[in-house]
Amino acid sequence: MLHIVLIEPEIPQNTGNIGRLCVAAGVRLHLVGPLGFSLDEKEIRRSGLDYWDRLDFKTWDRLEDLQAAMPESRFWYLSSKVERAYWDVEFRDGDCLVFGRESKGLPASLLAANPESSVTIPMTEGTRSINLSTSTGIVLYEALRQLHLKGARLK
Q: Where are the domains of the chain?
A: 3-149
Q: Is 49's pLDDT higher than 80? A: no
Q: How far apart, in whole angstroms, are the C-alpha atoms of residue 45 and residue 42?
A: 5
Q: Is 86's pLDDT higher than 70? A: yes
Give 77's contacts (C-beta < 8 A, 6+ positions apart): 98, 106, 110, 111, 114, 117, 118, 119
For the structural domain made of 3-149, what CATH number should be given? 3.40.1280.10
Mean pLDDT of 51-71: 94
Q: What's the Cα-to-Cα distance from 146 to each of 47, 87, 103, 108, 122, rounded to whole Å?
A: 28, 10, 30, 29, 19
Q: How confident is the model over 129-154, as pLDDT tens digits?
A: 899 999 999 999 999 999 987 776 66
Q: Is 96's pLDDT higher than 90? A: yes
